[in-house]
Amino acid sequence: MSNLNHSEENRIQFLKGLRDGVPISLGYFAVAFSLGIAARNAGLNAAQASLASILCLASAGEFGGFTLIQAGAAYIEMAAMEFVINIRYMLMSASLSQKLKSDTPLFKRLLLGMTVTDEIFGISVSKPGYLNPFYSYGAVCIAAPGWTLGTAMGVIMGNLLPSNVVSALSVGLYGMFLAIIIPPARKNRVILALIIISMLASAAMTYLPVVSRINSGFRIIILTVVISFLAAVFFPADEDKEAGYEE
C-alpha cells in the first residue's frame, strides 16, 4: 500500500511539473528561434541542431558551441568552453540536492541533475518542503520539447523573420524569470533584498573595467557563491521551520 501511495505522489508531482513547465516551454520555443539561426549559420541542419538542444538544453552553452563550430574550433576547445559556460549548473544541482530526502536513490539524483536549467531550477528550488524529483522531471518533459522544436523552427524558417522580431521573442525569457522571483520576494524581505543586491552586483561586474573581462559564466558563479555565503551567515535558515518539510 505504501508503494502505491508513493507512486501516486510521484504521479501527482509529475503532473504539477508538467503544468508549471508550460509557460517555460512557451518561452523556450520563442527564445530558441534565435538559437536555431545561429545553428544554421554554423552549417547545421534542423536534425543536428535539435539533437544539440536535446543533449545540452542550455542557451549560452549551445550558442557558444555553434559559434565555435562555425569557426572550425577543435573538440578540446569546445569541451573546455562548454565546461566554463555551464559550470554554474553544478552549483544549482548542489543546491537542489539539499532539498531532496536523504534516501533519494542516486539514479534519481543524477536524472534530476540532467533536468537543471535556470528556469526549472527556479521553480524547483522555490517549492516548499522537500523536493520530489518527479516534479522537475515533469517540468523538463514539457520544457525540453519546446526548446528543441523552437531550435528546429529557427533553422528552418528563422531567417525569414525580421531581425527585430527574433530579438523581441527573447524578451519572453526575462518575463519567466520575473514570474519566478517576484512571488517569493513579495513574501520575504530578505529574498527581496538579496534579489536587488544580486541585480546591482551583476550590473556592476558587467560594466566595471576589470571584472567585466571575466567570463559571464564565472561571474555568475562568483556572485552566487559570495551572495549565498553572506546570506547564510547573516540570515541563516530557521531549522525548526526546515524540519517541517512536507513528506
User: What are the backbone angles phi and psi of residue 57, rounded to the nearest 5°?
Assistant: 55, 50
> What are the sequence ranges of the domains in the chain?
2-172, 188-247
Cα–Cα separations (whole angstroms), residue 229 to 24, 233, 234, 239: 29, 6, 9, 17
Q: Are 88 and 217 in contact (CB under 8 A)?
A: yes
Per-residue pLDDT of the chain (247 residues; tens, 9 = 90+): 445 578 888 999 999 999 999 988 988 888 888 888 888 888 899 999 999 999 888 887 888 888 888 888 888 888 887 887 788 888 889 888 889 998 899 999 999 988 898 889 989 988 888 899 999 999 999 999 999 999 999 898 866 777 666 666 656 556 656 766 787 778 888 888 888 998 899 888 888 888 788 766 677 778 877 887 888 788 876 554 544 444 4
Cα–Cα distance for residue pair 121/135, rounded to 1 Å = 11
Grid coordinates given for 62: 549551445
What is the pLDDT, as a whole number, of residue 134? 95
Half-sphere exposure of 86 (CA within 13 A, CB side): 22
What is the pLDDT, as a whole number, of residue 188? 81
What is the pLDDT, as a whole number, of residue 67? 82
Q: What's the predicted TM-score (pTM) here? A: 0.71
